[in-house]
A and B are shown apart, each in its own frame.
Chain A
């Protein structure tokens, strides 16, 4: 087996506050191969977003990060400023949950799209715009030339998320980090955006770390799933959706509503911090 594109080995992130310390990532280990999609699911506060921030080294100085994060064989934690910039701008692309907050409101869509290419790659502005138009067309944005001249507030959420996807694809990264890219959208826009992301990713052979609450969605578009709880990955692999083995995953999958069965009440998760600690002690 060839070396994975991204490898996290026993990554811990500890938040150091005046009152004391709190470990928010508690030994996360995962691997993503070239062109592979990994779905990261888990409840709010389980450390999913924190994991992506650790991968891009966007955690502030208040965090102590230990363990090993490797991208293409290079240690991310050991990168100097110049290497880190190149890694962030060329190797990984990030799609955020709320596109509106992550696009500068006073810049035109075209400037937002071409900014990275012009500033970091030295691509000619006109060439960058041409590429942006092609990509907007590919992600299903109609009338792309016109969109380039518009401001973010003139676009709908779904449209803006497509712009976001296009902006990531423009820089031709090897890994896309998608942090709940569909959570802020309505259901129809969700499926459109997801279909586009999935299609583009496969066509380009990009790796994907897909964070979501939606187990079905993750199972449908990812090769493997990883389930997080309290800063740990409790279970991961291709089997998770069909044959979960960890009690938390079993309960989580059992609590989904199903369109085929009628249920008066969905089961409540009984797995909590206590059972989690007990499980750990046993293992």
Chain B
């Protein structure tokens, strides 16, 4: 080619600038003002949780029995719990598990769910029937019941509950993705790829998957909110995360006892943080879902 190098340099710069501007605009377009706010709030919580060892003012497990159940003070901004542990520090550390547990649940459920959905959409026929039937059965059982069944089999603990809930959340992802994949599967570009001699597996992963990806992300984020609540609920029941580990669901439970003794801060703070996390995740998921739909 005899294109002058100055032109291609200019083109490259414009493209780069556009791409950079594109990321910001795309995010704003997809999430809207409310969604961006939610994302910002969630980002603050996630960063604080990630850097808990640096951010938290105290060791979350250190009991200062002499200062037990003290109210907010400059030393302890949110006061201390029944064992004299700093509530703010426990919130920050607790957010870690409260985010990581459901995150893992959704990750597992999404990977398995997407694979099942793509398999069902590609093979169709009997495979599709069996998978759809299986998903319907899973759907019929509330997620928390799966958590409880897992606890009944393997005993209480975070890992157990995560395993149980992962299974429970598979249909939430798989059902939606299957529908989207079915639609993509019948697009002309799929038969064109088929005619190019690509394999079924190749087409599924290189052609269909990239086209359903926005829906996968939207559905995963939407389900995350539910998973946070389910996991916190199991911990509240004393079957998930075990004390003395800091966890928001567990803090609501122990704060519940303190509340009866006239110290409501722990329960309210932990409860509020759960609500804020779920609200953020749900708003983002909602926005992603409607933007994924508008892409169609």
CB within 8 Å of B: which residues of A? Answer: 56, 58, 85-86, 88-90, 94, 96, 98, 101-107, 115-116, 119-120, 137, 143-146, 167, 171
Asked, given contacts A144-B1, A145-B1, A146-B11, whether A90 binds B197 with beta carbons under 8 Å apart, the answer is yes
Question: Which DSSP category, helix, strand, loop or mixed, fits chain B's interface?
Answer: helix
A226 CB, min distance to chain B CBs, angstroms:
22
Q: Is the CB of B211 within 8 A of A146?
A: no
Does B187 sit within 8 A of A, measured CB to CB? yes
* Residues of chain B lying within 8 A (CB to CB) of residue A143: 1, 3
Asked, given contacts A104-B211, A105-B211, A146-B11, whether A116 binds B197 with beta carbons under 8 Å apart, the answer is yes
B215 CB, min distance to chain A CBs, angstroms:
13
Q: Is the CB of B189 within 8 A of A101?
A: yes
**Chain A: which residue is nearest B207 at the CB level?**
A104
**Chain A: which residue is nearest B3 at the CB level?**
A143
Q: Is the CB of A119 within 8 A of B202?
A: yes
Q: Is the CB of B1 within 8 A of A86?
A: no
Among A90, A103, A144, A146, the residue within 8 A (CB) of B189 is A103
Q: Is the CB of A85 within 8 A of B197?
A: yes
B247 CB, min distance to chain A CBs, angstroms:
40
Does B153 sit within 8 A of A, measured CB to CB? no
* Residues of chain A lying within 8 A (CB to CB) of residue B3: 143
Asked, given contacts A58-B195, A89-B196, whether A146 binds B188 with beta carbons under 8 Å apart, the answer is no
CB within 8 Å of A: which residues of B? Answer: 1, 3, 8, 11, 187-189, 191-199, 202, 206-207, 210-211, 213
Distance of A114 Cα from B116 Cα, bound (Å): 29
B52 CB, min distance to chain A CBs, angstroms:
38
Asked, given contacts A104-B210, A106-B211, A107-B210, whether A120 binds B189 with beta carbons under 8 Å apart, the answer is no
Among B1, B192, B199, B207, the residue within 8 A (CB) of A85 is B199
Q: Is the CB of A88 within 8 A of B188?
A: no
* Residues of chain B lying within 8 A (CB to CB) of residue A167: 196
Asked, given contacts A58-B191, A96-B188, A96-B192, whether A116 binds B198 with beta carbons under 8 Å apart, the answer is yes
**Chain B: which residue is nearest A146 at the CB level?**
B11
* Residues of chain A lying within 8 A (CB to CB) of residue B197: 85-86, 88-90, 116, 120
Distance of A72 Cα from B213 Cα, bound (Å): 42
* Residues of chain A lying within 8 A (CB to CB) of residue B206: 107, 115
